Each structure stands twice: as structure tokens, then as C-alpha cells.
Amino acid sequence: MNSADPVQDPSRPIARPAGLDVEFVADDLYTLRAAVNAHAAEFGLAEAGLSRLLVVATELATNAIRHGGGAGRLRLWRADGAIYCQVSDAGSGIADPVRAGTELVPLSEHGGRGLWVVRQFTDGFDITDGRPGAIVTVKITI
């Protein structure tokens, strides 16, 4: 990834408006998935990438609801041959964003596998401090 990549430099302004920019709560997850599906398909994301994106968006939105105060914001856009998905929340943030999701949590433990799954399904991953909350930006190459 290069330094102009929003996953590596989340402060970089997005060249184009987000194709999808929506706030959500738990009751919105079905509608959110449908909106992500429609926008990503319109952006030209093939079936395999679309399936990965839906898992990623669902995991990130679920994390925002569970750990980020019960609500969040999802942005989705296409730039430079990739689809970017960004989820932010107003929770307490992620204690160790560099290591979050880098190791698979044993199945005997409750939870903790969502960010690991997200890392496996994406081509770029970044967590930044949202003050409050966290901002997770991922990239899936088209």
C-alpha cells in the first residue's frame, strides 16, 4: 500500500464522496447489510469480494454496537481499484490497536475473534483513535 492509501493514512481526505454514509444501531443491521451489498455491487465488486465485504461490514458494525456504545457510522467508497469500508463509534476505543485481531482467540474463550476475521478477509486494515471511540478502515481490492 502506498502513503496515499486511506487505510495507511486515514487523515487523508477521501477523493470522492462516500457511496454510503450511514449511522446505525442494532436494529439496523439487516438494512445496513443490504445497503453495503447494493453499493459494493454498484462499485463493481465481484461475488467473492462482496461476500468478504459483507462479513467484514457485519463484524465491524457488530463490534461498534457491542463495544462502542450501541451505535456507529459506516462509510463505504471506491478509490484506486479498491473498496474501502470504515466503521466508527463513540465507545472507549481499542486498548492496543496495533495488536487487535492479530492472533486467533481460542474457541473456548467468549468473543474476541471478530477483528481477527476482519484482518483475514481484507487487503488493508487500520484502527485509529476516534476520541472518543475507534475508527476502523479496511480495504478490499477489486
Whole-number pLDDT of residue 3: 42
Measured between alpha carbons, how far is 107 from 65 in angstroms, rounded to an integer?
A: 22
pLDDT of res. 105: 77
pLDDT at 28: 96
Q: What is the dihedral of CA 77, 96, 62, 90, to 10 degrees?
A: -80
Is the domain 25-141 a CATH 3.40.50.300 member? no
Which is more confidently placed, 36 or 106? 36
Domain locations in the chain?
25-141
- pLDDT for position 40: 92
Reported as type and span, the H/E element at residue 73 is strand 71-79
Q: Would the pLDDT of 39 be above 60?
A: yes
Residue 4: band (very low, low, confident or very high) from pLDDT cuts 50, 70, 90: low
Dump pLDDT digits (tens) for 50-105. Answer: 999 999 999 999 999 999 999 999 999 999 899 999 999 999 888 888 888 888 87
Give the range among 15-19, 50-54, 110-114, 124-128 with minimum mean pLDDT. Answer: 15-19
Return the SS3 of 40.
Answer: helix
What is the spatial distance between Cα 99 and Cα 73, in angstroms, rounded to a whole number? 23
Mean residue pLDDT across the chain: 86
